[in-house]
Structures are given as structure tokens and as C-alpha cells.
A and B are shown apart, each in its own frame.
Chain A
Amino acid sequence: MKVVVDMNKCQDHGQCVFAAPDVFSLDDAGHLAYVSDPDDALRDEVEEAADVCPLQAIRIEA
């Protein structure tokens, strides 16, 4: 699957990290880093992360 985070929207809330820690993380400076092509087995987690992002910045493409 393909994940895109709109970094213009993202405000580093980190909610996605709680929902899908295998895909999203915050670096030492507190900024978002993520895997853009996670395994399909993680789809539920990633959908949950997209749901809980306060800025609705996470898009799942295919």
C-alpha cells in the first residue's frame, strides 16, 4: 500500500504514531517520519492512523 502525508498540513501531533507505530514515528526533534510503502498487512493500522490525525493529513493511495 502507499501512504502519503501532506507535510504542509501535518503539525506533528503524533496521534498517528500511537495508532500505527510500525509506520509512523517522531524523530528526536519531534517531527514526523513515516514509511511510505508499508506492507499491506498493516492496512488496518494505517487506516486507524488516518482516522485519528487531527489535521486529516494522511492519505492512503491504493
Chain B
Amino acid sequence: MTARIVVAGASMAGLRAAEQLRAAGWRGAITLVGDEPHPPYNRPPLSKEVLAGKASFESLAFRPRASVSDVEWRLGRKAVAAALDERTVRLDDGTELSYDGLVVATGMRPRRLDCPGPAAGRHTVRTLDDARGLREALTRPGARVVVVGAGFIGCEVAATAVGLGVAEVTVVDPLPLPMAGPLGELLGRAMLERHEARGVRFALGTGVAGFTGEERVTGVELSDGSVLAADVVVESVGSVANTEWLDGNGLDLADGVLTDARLRAGGRPDVVAVGDVARFPNARYDGVPRRVEHWCIPTDTAKHAAKTLVGDAEPVPFAPLPSFWSDQHDFRLQSFGAPVLGKGDVRVLDGDPEGDVLVGYHHDGRLVGVVALGGQAMTASAARYRAELLKQPALTETVSG
């Protein structure tokens, strides 16, 4: 029997893992199992161009490298259980796949609000089908939209909705500023002002108590008892890791799959985790394992994990430089490094918060992240600081954040 690596989760991280296994010299069989019916596609446009009607599905599909033209795809199939000691994965049709190596790439799903009220009219944005459904709802004449959660995805959806001509768009969040969790107060405030100037309303410092309506949502009841009228609700309140299928194997699945510095789960040489689902230590920072839901992570982790599985002799330290962007209205946020670790010491490096601005995040006097807000010139300025970030020594003590 030929040796086989099973990749569970057939999205960006799964595809990149297959490609990188080939690049690392794996000549055996590769089977990709994914519960979505679609071949791997690019998710960031779902809350931006796809929702705005500016991009088609065809334009989202990843173009797999030629080296993976012989892999076996099992799409529309879900991994439901695994027995890591026996090296098997069970699928929802009862098939049992045995493996020599296993790549966990099952990513995240949106967290849902646990509140009373009807389900119809409530949306999330993670998959292509979600985005199609939400677009249809947003383009109905007179739609009133409430976005719950002022994180990146929520703010992108609000911006796109306003761009589509939706008159009433309100973002609700228990925190006092949008995106301040990852970006800190200075940029949180700058973002709030920009959104408000472009017609997005905010209800901040308040949670959601429930939804009104019989069959469909007619409004969102806030924790102070007031009600915002709404026909479309978007829940963007974070995500939950898809790891239930790994239960019962003694892995630490408290928040994604805990891995070591070589991305191995539970110390097993034949099981690695990649992409959003992996909780890994980054040698660039303090070595505390964290999950990182950035687009660059599937590619970085896949490269490293493939070397671990294929048994590359010299392990290299894993120290990816995270990068993240977000497009909202007519401006872009571009982040390099880990701003969240330096929120306590934020300095303006270029420009000013009223206009285009570049902000540096420091820990212990050291630059740990930069974020540009604005147009192309500021993004280019951030790129110059990227080299600076790459030169910084690793952090030696633990940072909470």
C-alpha cells in the first residue's frame, strides 16, 4: 500500500499544506477531506468584493499548483472522528481513512449569539454560501441592518452595506470603540470617526439581549431594553474552532489545536495543525501559543508543518511575521507584526490620526507591530517598517494580550 497523508479541511490551509508537502518531497498519496462542496477559495473578499457584487465565485477559487494535480479530493465530506493511536479518520459517510500523516486544517466557524428570538434574518459570514445569502438580503429595497460585533468582519460588512446604498446600518458592541481589542484606542477612535462620517451608526457599550419578531427578526433588543428595528442581522462575534472530530485523543483543544514549535499536536510526530485552527508558539515573540486568524498564516504554517511531517532533518525555529489587512469604505488597514502585544505603548510614526496615519506598537520599548490606516502611500510607509520589525530580537517575557 502506498503511504498516505490525510488533510482534514480543504480550504486555504489544507490546499497550501498539500502543495508544501509536495515541495518538501512527499511523493506518497494525499487525500483532502472538506465539508464544503466548493474547491478551496479565498475568504477575505466575502465581506468585501463579493458582498459588494464586484467579484464572482470563479475569481475567488485558488489556482492549485501543478504539483497537486494528482491529489484525491473528498469534497462535501466531513471528518467526524479520529483515532490517532490507530492512525485513522472516520468520515460522515462511514468511510475510514488510514493515514501515515495527518494534517488538521479544519479552521473556524462563526460563534453564534445565544439569545431568545427567531432565527430567520440572522446571518454570519464565513462561507461563500453565507456571503451570497447576505448579499441577497442586503440588496432588498429598504433593508435595515444591524451588525452585532464591531471587529474587522463586522466593520467590513457595515462599510460594504453602506456602499451598497443601505440607509440604516448600525453596529452594536459591548466595548466602547470598534476594533480596539486588536488595534488599541487610538486607531479604534480613528476608525469610529471614519465610519460615522460615512453613514454607519454605532450603539457601543451595550450588549444584545434578544431578537424581536415572530417568524423573522424585526429588531434587536439591546441590554438597556431599547430596540433597534432590523430585517437583517449580521452576527460577527468571533469564531469557534472546528475540533470536535478530534475529541477523545488526549489533545489540548481548549482553543484550537495546541501545537509545539514544529506544529505537532500532542507531541505526535505524525499529526500537525495548520491555519486558523493551530494554536502555536511564535519564536519571534514570547513563545506563548496563540491562534492567529490572519490570511498569511495558512501559507506560513503549511510550509513549516510539511517539513515536520516529511521529516526534514534540521528543524528551523518557527517565527512568522504576521501580516493582516482590512478594507473598509475607501481606506485600508495594513498591519505587520503583533500590535496586540504592544497596545500599552502606541506611538504615531507618520501622518496623523485625522488623516492617513502610521502607528507603532511597542513592548518594553521595542517595536512589535505597525499598522497603517489610509491610502497607498501610508501602506507603503508601513512596508518600510516591516524590515525594522524583522530585525527586532525576540521578546523574552510573557505578554498578556
A contacts, CB < 8 Å to B? 9, 12-15, 17-18, 26, 29-31, 47, 51-52, 54, 56, 59
Distance between B368 CB and nearest chain A CB, rounded to angstroms: 18
- CB <8 Å contact, A56 and B42: yes
- CB <8 Å contact, B323 and A29: no
In the complex formed, the residue of B with least CB distance to A9 is B59
The prevalent SS among residues of B at the interface is helix
- CB <8 Å contact, A51 and B380: no
- CB <8 Å contact, A17 and B376: no
Complex Cα gap A31–B375 (Å): 12
Complex Cα gap A59–B61 (Å): 13
Write out the residue numbers on chain B whose beta carbons fall within 8 Å of the beta carbon of A31. 376
Decide yes or no: A30 and B380 within 8 Å by CB, A52-B296, A54-B295, A59-B63 being known contacts. yes
Checking A15, A30, A56 against B376 with a beta-carbon cut-off of 8 angstroms, the contacting residue is A30
Complex Cα gap A12–B383 (Å): 12
Decide yes or no: A14 and B16 within 8 Å by CB, A52-B299, A56-B63 being known contacts. no
- CB <8 Å contact, B383 and A17: yes
Write out the residue numbers on chain A whose beta carbons fall within 8 Å of the beta carbon of B62. 56
Distance between B128 CB and nearest chain A CB, rounded to angstroms: 15
- B216 interface contact, C-beta 8 A: no
Complex Cα gap A51–B295 (Å): 11
Complex Cα gap A17–B379 (Å): 13
A-B interface pairs (CB < 8 A), number:
36
Complex Cα gap A13–B380 (Å): 9
Decide yes or no: A15 and B323 within 8 Å by CB, A54-B44, A56-B62, A59-B63 being known contacts. yes
- B38 interface contact, C-beta 8 A: no
Checking B299, B376, B383 against A51 with a beta-carbon cut-off of 8 angstroms, the contacting residue is B299
Checking B63, B295, B299, B377 against A30 with a beta-carbon cut-off of 8 angstroms, the contacting residue is B377
Question: Could you pull out 26 A-B pairs where Cβ atoms are within 8 angstroms?
Answer: A9-B59, A12-B379, A13-B325, A13-B334, A13-B379, A14-B379, A14-B380, A14-B383, A15-B323, A18-B383, A26-B383, A29-B376, A30-B376, A30-B377, A30-B379, A31-B376, A47-B65, A51-B19, A51-B299, A52-B296, A52-B299, A54-B44, A54-B325, A56-B42, A56-B62, A56-B63
Complex Cα gap A47–B64 (Å): 11
Complex Cα gap A29–B325 (Å): 20
Complex Cα gap A18–B387 (Å): 10
Write out the residue numbers on chain A whose beta carbons fall within 8 Å of the beta carbon of B189. none
Interface string of B364-386 (1 = CB under 8 A from A): 00000000000011011001001
Interface string of B31-53 (1 = CB under 8 A from A): 00000000000101000000000
Distance between A7 CB and nearest chain B CB, rounded to angstroms: 14
- CB <8 Å contact, B42 and A12: no
Can you list the 5 inter-chain pairs with the closest CB atoms, starting with the nearest?
A30-B376, A30-B380, A51-B299, A14-B383, A56-B42
Distance between B290 CB and nearest chain A CB, rounded to angstroms: 21
- CB <8 Å contact, B63 and A12: no
In the complex formed, the residue of B with least CB distance to A15 is B323
Complex Cα gap A15–B323 (Å): 9
Write out the residue numbers on chain A whose beta carbons fall within 8 Å of the beta carbon of B42. 54, 56
- CB <8 Å contact, B380 and A26: yes
Interface string of B12-34 (1 = CB under 8 A from A): 00001001000000000000000
Complex Cα gap A56–B377 (Å): 22
Complex Cα gap A51–B16 (Å): 8
Distance between B41 CB and nearest chain A CB, rounded to angstroms: 9
- CB <8 Å contact, A18 and B296: no
Q: Which residue, of A15, A51, A52, has the highest number of chain B Cβ atoms within 10 A?
A: A51
Distance between B139 CB and nearest chain A CB, rounded to angstroms: 23
Distance between B373 CB and nearest chain A CB, rounded to angstroms: 15
Write out the residue numbers on chain A whose beta carbons fall within 8 Å of the beta carbon of B377. 30
In the complex formed, the residue of A with least CB distance to B332 is A11
- CB <8 Å contact, A12 and B376: yes
Complex Cα gap A36–B386 (Å): 26
Interface string of B176-214 (1 = CB under 8 A from A): 000000000000000000000000000000000000000
Write out the residue numbers on chain A whose beta carbons fall within 8 Å of the beta carbon of B379. 12-14, 30
